[in-house]
Amino acid sequence: MKKFFLFFFCFFLFPFSVYAGSISELTVLNGTLSRTFESDNNTYSVLLDEGETTLKLEYLCTDEQAQSELLQNEYEENASNVAKLQVTNSDGTKETYTFYLEKEEVVPVMKESKKEVTAKVNPYLKWYVILGEVLVISLLFKVLILGKKRR
């Protein structure tokens, strides 16, 4: 029983904090978080917006006097791309949140062609026009001239 009172007395005389998660709220400003943020989950994937190369976060620490630092925050092609948010609480405990940075692969729908478009002209077009003219003239000749003679 003495041990219980001693523990109870020490607990109130020297209070300590246990942080289940050093961050209570987190928002990604330039991308999409893989799932809803939970303070006790320390690993996430982030799909960065097009044109972004660094992770931008807005977060709220549970310890008002905590110090935080975003490490390795640079996206590079064909690299590991892991950003880490390290939070050091006022009691000296450290917690690290890991963000795997990803980018959406842009696949072109069509390839551009640099060929110039040239009009293709049928080489026999001239002869088709001449043949058409001859047929029209001969038809008019038959109707107008030969048709009058029969009457």
The Cα–Cα gap between 83 and 69 comes to 10
Q: What is the rounded end-to-end Cα distance, in angstroms, of the chain?
A: 142
Residues 131 and 98 in one domain: no
Domain that holds residue 136: 122-151
Per-residue pLDDT of the chain (151 residues; tens, 9 = 90+): 544 443 443 344 444 444 446 889 999 999 999 999 998 899 999 999 988 888 999 999 999 899 999 998 888 888 888 999 999 999 999 999 999 999 887 677 776 666 676 777 788 888 989 999 999 998 888 888 777 665 5
Per-residue model confidence (pLDDT) at position 75: 86
- Using CA atoms, how far residue 28 sits from 63, 87, 132, in Å, is 20, 17, 73
Does any domain span residue 108? Answer: no
CB 19 within 8 A of CB 38: no
Residues 37 and 95 in one domain: yes
The Cα–Cα gap between 68 and 21 comes to 13
Domain tally, the chain: 2
Residue pointed to by tokens 């943020």: 37
Per-residue model confidence (pLDDT) at position 77: 83
Residues 57 and 97 in one domain: yes
Residues 89 and 60 in one domain: yes
Residues 146 and 72 in one domain: no
Residue 117: Cβ within 10 Å count: 6
The Cα–Cα gap between 102 and 44 comes to 11
The Cα–Cα gap between 117 and 125 comes to 20
The Cα–Cα gap between 25 and 58 comes to 8
Give the predicted TM-score (pTM) of the model: 0.58
Does any domain span residue 41? Answer: yes
CATH number, residue 70? 2.60.40
Per-residue model confidence (pLDDT) at position 8: 40
Quote the tokens at residue 112. Answer: 């551009």
Residues 131 and 88 in one domain: no
Does any domain span residue 54? Answer: yes
Residues 98 and 27 in one domain: yes
